[in-house]
Amino acid sequence: MKKRWIIFILAIVAIAVLVTVAVLYFNEKKQNDLLTSEINSLSETNTNTEVKCEGQYGIVEKLVKEDYKLYIESVNKLRENYESLSQAKVINLDNYENDGPEFTESLGLLNGIKEENAKIIEELTALTDEAKIEEKATAAGLESRFVDMYKDILSQIKLNDGITSIKEADSKYSAYNDSLIAVLNYLKENSTSWFIENGTLKSNSQTFIDEYNSMVQETNIEL
């Protein structure tokens, strides 16, 4: 009789263990499926950061969604700045007359774009920096396997590829911006060497004119 009770109790324990394992498995699958669905729903027009998963899955979801939102917002801001830069008509006689010789407004605009874009690129670079990812994941309390899951998802949504393309575009716009700033600074620093007469920039120094023309030529960058 005693042996039967022991066998009965062991059977109950075994069933309980199986039930627990099954519940854990189905809960894991449910959370994993929900996480996959939420990540797949992300797009340029959907940067919702609401967290629907629970536990470690919820932390992964939160981190990925925050990263993606920052990525999209950064890309949109860069586009705005690139558009502003493309439309900045600063290398022309009208601007020289209106804003020169200090070019306070023009240089303020260009340097503002330069500083903001540099900050955005730095933030985007941090999104795919291995050390930064590890640091962020640890601070959020992710367990080891979920850190790997977080990294895998970042790889799957191709943040790194997107950021690499952005950096390539930014290098062209940065070079263009720098060339505009260089021309205006040259005019500013040599304000007594030039004047506008009959709709033409003139100078008593041919050296100045040659250098100016050369610098203007360098602004002809295909964007």
- Interval 124-174: pLDDT, tens: 999 999 999 999 999 999 999 999 999 999 999 888 899 999 999 999 999
Is the pTM here over 0.85, yes or no? no
Longest dimension (CA), the chain: 118
DSSP three-state, residue 49:
coil
Per-residue pLDDT tens over the stretch 22-43: 333 346 888 888 999 999 999 8
Distance between CA 39 and CA 61 in Å, rounded? Answer: 8
Name 216's Cβ contacts closer than 8 Å, sequence gap at least 6.
91, 183
For residue 136, give Cα distances in angstroms to 53, 120, 130, 131, 132. Answer: 19, 18, 10, 9, 6
